[in-house]
Amino acid sequence: MKVEVGFRLNGYEVRAEVEPHLRLLDVLRDTLGETGTKEGCGEGECGACTVLVDGAAINSCLFPVCEAAGTSVMTVEGLAEANGALSPIQRAFLDHGGAQCGFCTPGIVMAGVALLAENPNPSDAEIRYSLTGNLCRCTGYVQIVAAIRAAAVATRGERGD
Amino acid sequence: MTDLLHIGRDVPRPDGADKVGGKALYIHDITRPGMLYGAIKFSEHAHARIVRIDTSRAQRLPGVRAVITGDDVPEVRFGFMRDNLALKKGKVRQFRDEIAAVAAIDPDIAKEAVDLIDVEYEPLPGLFTTADALADGAALIHETDPTGRPVTSNLVPAACSHRSGDLEAGKRASRFVAEGHYTVPRIQQASLGTAGCIAEFDLNGNLTVTAKTQIPFLAQRDFTNALRALGIKDKNVRVVVPAVGGAFGSGLDTHAYEYISILLAWHTGKPVKILYDRYEEFAYLSPRQSAELFIRQGCDENGKLTFREIEVTQDNGAYVSWGATYPNVMLVAATSLHRVPNVYFNATIVYTNNTYCQAMRGYGNPEVTWGIETNLEELAEKAGIDALEMRLLNCNQPGDVTPMGLNLQSCGLRECLEGTAEALDWDRTRSVSRRPGRGVGMAALINVGGGGKIYRSDGSGIILKLDDFGNVNVSYGGVEMGQGLHSALSLMVAEAVGVLPERVIINQTDTATAPWDVGTHASRGAFMAGNAARIAGARLRERIFALAEQVYPGEVERNLAALGEGEGLDEFDFRSVTRDGFDLRNGWLLCKDAGDEPWLRVELGRFLRAAHFAKEGGTGTMFTEEAFYEPPTDLPDWSAGYGNMSAAYTFGVQGVEVEVDEDTGEVTILRMVAVTDGGRVLSRQAAEGQLYGGIVQGVGYALYEEVHSSEGRILNPGFTDYKIPTAADIAFPIELQWVETNDPEGPFGAKGLGEAGIVPTAPAIANAIYDAVGVRIRDLPITPEKVVQALAAKVGE
Ligand code: FES
Ligand code: FES
């Protein structure tokens, strides 16, 4: 039995007929074709599937799609502007080498967005702690932490803090 | 090389924007019209006869399009010793053996069908240690070799040894000797993007495989052989590589799942995708091989090394892949890390019923360096010499030819040692008595930095194609898997041709368009690609400058007409510039001897259009150049362990400061420093990324990673029980320094950097732990339990 689920995705209303047991990750990737969000484990261990639901970072591989009904979901595809201009955090990942293979990157970028929304001026330790659920096998995290630190400065600058 | 415009710059990677935007397409993200999903039935025993396979229930499941077993399809053999079958017949030799496979219209149905396949086994006793497999009367894991000849033991026939100088004389000349057994465990590459492929035939019978691989051309050869086994001859196999979610060696061989997707595609006439999930990646993909090392080294009364003796035994698992050739790479450090005159090395590779092993970053070098660099400190202590001093005393020098015949054209090891000591403040921080619980340690490395010849060609081709607009399209057969190959390559092509890096477009790796390349391993990608690019770039420039003799004057006239004037016009005869007088810089055709006035500069795109659309009477000219670079190296004689296998050698030293909690055994890293001679740094961001990433993998190897298994079954197939370092674990500063030797064979002076980071981390940490609390751990990983036990044993002494 399929059910209809509707939510806002990156600012637009979407609606899909889905099997109710599906995970938000499946619906984003397979039903809606937004493959930016990755599956690295399917068990809530790696954070590659991190998206924001009503602003909170969640593992979409553990999130039943039905619980997304009526919420506002933000994925990595929602960050850049329509003309392709990268958001400050994406720009910072580019400038600081925060992505290597890039498979963890969409999830880590979204975790970073959530962190900076909550704490615009995090210390390195706070950045590291907030990323505990996001594994990266390539970078050793050093350039990721540098990117988020730089994004914090850029975001504050943009807002004029 | 003077006057470099782009090499060494700190610039973003060309594939970065798509990666941070979620647009890069990995195998996970690719589907094809009509595509089916494959799933594999794996063995439930480590060693057993297959009595019966019943696929009837799976066949009947709605949505299933094919179910195949080894009995339904021709025998497809693979692996460089051809001892492995895509679908096993008669017998299983490890838990992950592929017995049957399903293609279905969705992945869930495929998995459900696999669960409906019943296999009846007759279990056989398993052999799970090298000692058991080598014991007299041990059962044979392979009763015959691939040609059907009976074998008599479980030894893998991959001889690798070395003997140089006079070992006995070296021993006699020794005042001090240290010896010990050292072990390293199996660990997982643990790429975040799991393995997978899509196989598809067109209606002419040609095959395309979209594969997460590091060896598109060797895979093309392997898949072509598989087609032959199916009776399909003279067809084209094309291997296309999508964005790769990390590989670290896991993509260095072809895999049973790839052959199975080919078989299923052939059976169904549809594209078939097989994608491993995380459990399958851990349980059914080949990890890094474990090793048992016995090492003995000696020195004279001054600390000069007198001999080195290494005996290696490795548990290969049930089939041969590249894990069996780790000793070939171990030879490099075994014979050539530090100056050592009399060397003996021997390796024994043993079949067992454990999971078979494969390549991972460093490929034997972290294993052997673990033993050499910890044993060296034991020797230094016996001799009463500071470990840094001992390394300096025996330091490799530029120009050395080592006992293996390695030609160290550039070598900055001394500077790396000195830089590390200074960063650690060695003289004040070293020594257990000064600061209880705290210590510093270091370890050195040598690694191939100019390819590693283990195959009859270690070459790479490149095609540089200029379009009508001044862009350079690059076709290269190596694989960008995150390491930053494209960062380095775009800078090198820009430099070699004379364009801006952003005008260098690197095509997707595809055997249909790129020239042959042996594969991306052995830290070779940037070195090979760069040397090929230098050759092709020089040819392009030569041809452009030759044609410029005709085209340039007309374009300058157009400039003058547009500008209405030209400063210095009277002094410079632009109509008679010859080929030697031109230069191409950042996309502008210029005259070397004239000023940089706007009227004298011709934009490359304009020049190319003028060359392409020739005036009446002329012929159009296109600019595409191809080059194949084969490094000047030897394929070593493995039984003698001799041959200059790389065109350059990378050196480095890592230093660590640790704090050890003597109650819990917990090791806290306080800081790390890595000083590396990778020749000239090509892309700073990519080079730093390789070092940080390698070091952090080294920290995992040193302190917690291990694939646990019991009777061949893997016990920790997930990130819950197999811990890789998290951001919170890396709560210490890592300082990177570069010793930029200018290697004569390296492209723009560069040497390979992909593996160096992981090589000496574990021994550096172990040495620091010894310095802190006086216990020597010889078996990785250095868990708190091992530290506590060692401390207790020390108290008991
Ligand atoms: S895929 Fe969701 S946490 Fe790994
Ligand atoms: S960049 Fe590869 S896993 Fe993070």
Query: B246 CA to middle of ligand 2, Å?
Result: 7
**Which tens digit of pLDDT belongs to each residue from A103-156?**
999 999 999 999 999 999 999 999 999 999 999 999 999 999 999 999 999 988
Q: Give the domains, in start order, of chain A with CATH numbers.
A: 3-78 (3.10.20.30), 88-155 (1.10.150.120)
Q: How confident is the model at residue B433, as a pLDDT?
A: 65
The radius of gyration of chain B's CA atoms, rounded to the nearest angstrom, is 29
Q: Which residues of B touch A99 (CB under 8 A)?
A: 13, 16, 19-20
Which of A141, A143, A145, A149 would best serve as a mutation to test chain B binding (most B beta carbons within 10 A)? A141
* Distance in Å, alpha carbon of A134 to nearest chain B alpha carbon: 7
ipTM of the complex: 0.98
Q: Do B696 and A43 touch (CB under 8 A)?
A: no
Bridge partners (DSSP) listed for residue A155: none
* Distance in Å, alpha carbon of B210 to nearest chain A alpha carbon: 17
**Which tens digit of pLDDT belongs to each residue from A30-49?**
999 999 999 999 999 999 99
Q: How confident is the model at residue B571, as a pLDDT?
A: 83
Q: Measure the CA–CA gap between B295 and B333, rounded to whole angstroms.
A: 13
What six digits make up the tokens of A52? 């924001």
Q: Do B483 and A100 touch (CB under 8 A)?
A: yes
CB of A100 within 6 A of ligand 2: the answer is yes
Regions of chain B where pLDDT drops below 70:
1-2, 432-434
Per-residue burial over B296-312, b if 16 or more Cβ lie within 10 Å, else e, is bbbbeeebbbbbbbbbb
DSSP string, B243-274: B----TTTTSS--HHHHHHHHHHHHHSS-EEE
Bridge partners (DSSP) listed for residue B65: none
Mapped to the 3 state alphabet, what secondary structure does B462-497 carry?
EEEEECCCCCEEEEECCCCCCCCHHHHHHHHHHHHH
Apex CA A35: angle with CA A29 and CA A41, to 5°?
75
Quick check: B187 contacting A, CB < 8 Å? no
DSSP H/E element including B559: helix B525-563
> Judged by CB atoms within 8 Å, which residues 627-666 of B form the interface with A?
none
Give the burial class of B152: count Cβ atoms within 10 A of its Cβ; 0-12 exposed, 13-18 middle, 19 or more buried.
exposed
Q: Which residue of B has its CA nearest to A30?
A: B29
DSSP string, B394-408: T---TT-B-TT--B-
Scan for tokens 């060397």, then name that residue: B343
Q: Measure the CA–CA gap between B342 and B333, rounded to whole angstroms.
A: 14
Residue A27 has pLDDT above 90, yes or no: yes
> Judged by CB atoms within 8 Å, which residues 74-133 of B form the interface with A?
none
Q: Do A140 and B481 touch (CB under 8 A)?
A: no
* Distance in Å, alpha carbon of A49 to nearest chain B alpha carbon: 11
Q: Is the dihedral of CA B428, B431, B435, B440 positive or negative?
A: positive
Nearest to A101 among B29, B192, B731 (CB): B192
Question: Do the Cβ atoms of B552 and B478 come closer than 8 Å?
Answer: no
Mapped to the 3 state alphabet, what secondary structure does B513-543 carry?
CCCCECCCCCCCHHHHHHHHHHHHHHHHHHH
Q: Do B244 and A41 touch (CB under 8 A)?
A: no
Which of B31, B108, B192 would best serve as a mutation to test chain A binding (most A beta carbons within 10 A)? B192
For residue B627, what are the CA distances in angstroms to B475, B516, B529, B539?
A: 11, 11, 10, 9
> Judged by CB atoms within 8 Å, which residues 690-709 of B form the interface with A?
692-697
Scan for tokens 């092509």, then name that residue: B493
Secondary structure of residue A93 in the 3-state scheme:
helix
Residue A161 has pLDDT above 90, yes or no: no
φ and ψ at B591, to 5 degrees? Answer: -100, 130
Q: How many CB pairs under 8 A join A and B?
A: 176
**Which tens digit of pLDDT belongs to each residue from A33-90?**
999 999 999 999 999 999 999 999 999 999 999 999 999 999 999 999 888 899 999 9
What six digits make up the tokens of B124? 């056989």
Give the burial class of B796: count Cβ atoms within 10 A of its Cβ; 0-12 exposed, 13-18 middle, 19 or more buried.
exposed
CB of A136 within 6 A of ligand 2: the answer is yes
Quick check: B723 contacting A, CB < 8 Å? no
Nearest to B695 among A80, A140, A143 (CB): A140
Question: Do the Cβ atoms of B292 and B313 come closer than 8 Å?
Answer: yes
Bridge partners (DSSP) listed for residue A74: A52
Query: B278 CA to middle of ligand 1, Å?
Result: 10
Q: Measure the CA–CA gap between B229 and B42, rounded to whole angstroms.
A: 23
Mutation choice for ligand 2 from A49, A50, A105, CB with most ligand atoms inside 8 A: A105
Q: Do A77 and B190 touch (CB under 8 A)?
A: no
Q: How confident is the model at residue B273, as a pLDDT?
A: 98
Helix locations, B95-215, DSSP H: 107-115, 130-134, 167-172
Q: Do B278 and A41 touch (CB under 8 A)?
A: yes
The ligand that comes nearest to the alpha carbon of residue A140 is 2
Cβ-proximal residues to B703 (8 Å cutoff; 6+ apart), any chain: B667, B765, B781, B782, B783
Q: Is the dihedral of CA B308, B311, B315, B319 positive or negative?
A: positive
CB of B693 within 6 A of ligand 2: the answer is no
Strand ranges inside B219-359, DSSP E: 237-240, 272-275, 291-299, 305-317, 343-351
CB of A133 within 6 A of ligand 1: the answer is no
Q: How confident is the model at residue B1, as a pLDDT?
A: 41
DSSP H/E element including B40: strand B36-42
CB of A104 within 6 A of ligand 2: the answer is yes
What six digits make up the tokens of B681? 């740094």
What six digits make up the tokens of B415? 């500077």
Q: Measure the CA–CA gap between B125 and B61, rounded to whole angstroms.
A: 35
CB of A113 within 6 A of ligand 1: the answer is no
Q: Give the domains, in start order, of chain B with CATH numbers.
A: 31-124+195-275 (3.90.1170.50), 290-454+635-796 (3.30.365.10), 459-629 (3.30.365.10)
Q: Do B20 and A125 touch (CB under 8 A)?
A: no
Query: B619 CA to middle of ligand 1, Å?
Result: 58
Strand duo B472-476 + B504-506: pairing: parallel
> Judged by CB atoms within 8 Å, which residues 460-489 of B form the interface with A?
481-484
Which of B19, B189, B683 would best serve as a mutation to test chain A binding (most A beta carbons within 10 A)? B19
Q: Measure the CA–CA gap between A42 and B239, rounded to whole angstroms.
A: 28
The ligand that comes nearest to the alpha carbon of residue B481 is 2
Quick check: B754 contacting A, CB < 8 Å? no
What six digits make up the tokens of B188? 């997982």
Query: A103 CA to middle of ligand 2, Å?
Result: 5
For residue B285, what are the CA distances in angstroms to B103, B118, B249, B359, B584?
A: 20, 23, 11, 11, 48
Q: Do A103 and B245 touch (CB under 8 A)?
A: yes
Q: How confident is the model at residue B796, as a pLDDT?
A: 78
Query: B403 CA to middle of ligand 1, Å?
Result: 49
Cβ-proximal residues to B700 (8 Å cutoff; 6+ apart), any chain: B187, B723, B724, B725
